[in-house]
Amino acid sequence: MQLYLDSANINEIKQVAELGIISGVTTNPSLLAKEDPSIDVKKRINEIYSIVGGHLSVEVNSLDTKGMLKEADEILSWFPDATIKIPMIPAGLAAVKQLFDKDIPTNVTLIFSPTQAIAAEHAGATYVSVFMGRLDDIGMDSNLVIQEVCAIWEKNLFESEIIAASIRTPIHIIQAAKAGADIATVPYKVLMQSLQHPLIDKGVEIFVNDFAKMQAEISKIAPKVQKKK
């Protein structure tokens, strides 16, 4: 399972890209607005693209097929290998079908059930984004849903890639990987949290102290050795 960063923040993207652990970035209107409601979207998307160089999903805002396709053209004029992110509504499926016919990659977002994921696959989606956290928010079992989607994909040899999205805790990452999702798109905070462990901090502290002890001993011996010479 690959890791993507779910963010529109340049510092976060730069920092995580430097770690070499992410294979792409997903954005959405809420993440862009969180940065700055008056953000220049084209400029920010181009900045993100220059850092990640591909595998970047950019979402349309229209709710009708024609409007979505127009926005897709606009996004593709910013960078030609954009993945167009489209909401899981009937007008969105129709847009996905038309983009599929033109070989343009799409990421169908706001998927909450296996049947919605199946429909997106048949419309020609490149990626299907199953929202885990928002399912948990309404008392549903997101782990079960991601497991069902992955099992269906395996049995039917479906071709789209499954993205586990709306990731809120490191546990979601583990559940998505165990289920067999292709990608988990993770917010910065959760990704950094998933790297931490108190035993790492303790272990590093022990190594640092022991290294300092060795250095102190060496510096005691070094002057004696020099004197002998």
* Catalytic-residue membership of 155: no
Residue 216 beta carbon to ligand G3P: minimum distance, rounded to whole angstroms: 49
Smallest separation (angstroms) from ligand G3P to the CB of 30: 6
Helices (H), the chain: 10-19, 29-35, 41-52, 65-78, 90-101, 114-123, 133-137, 142-156, 170-179, 188-195, 198-228
Hey, what are 6's tokens? 């779910």
Instruction: Give least dist CB 28 to ligand G3P, A.
Output: 5
- Rounded Cα distance, 176 and 58, in Å: 22
Spell out the residues 6+ positions from residue 161 whose beta carbon is closer than 8 angstroms to its own.
Answer: 126, 127, 128, 182, 183
The CB-of-202 to ligand G3P minimum distance in angstroms stands at 31
Determine the Cα–Cα distance for residues 208 and 216; give it in Å rounded to an integer: 12
Nearest one of 111, 106, 26 to 71, comparing CA atoms = 106
Nearer to ligand G3P, 10 or 98 (CB): 10
DSSP state of 132: S
**Which positions touch ligand G3P (CB under 6 A)?**
6, 26, 28, 31, 131, 133-134, 165-166, 168, 185
Of 85, 102, 202, 224, which residue is the catalytic one?
85
- Nearer residue to ligand G3P within complex by CB, 98 or 168: 168
**Annotated active-site positions, please?**
85
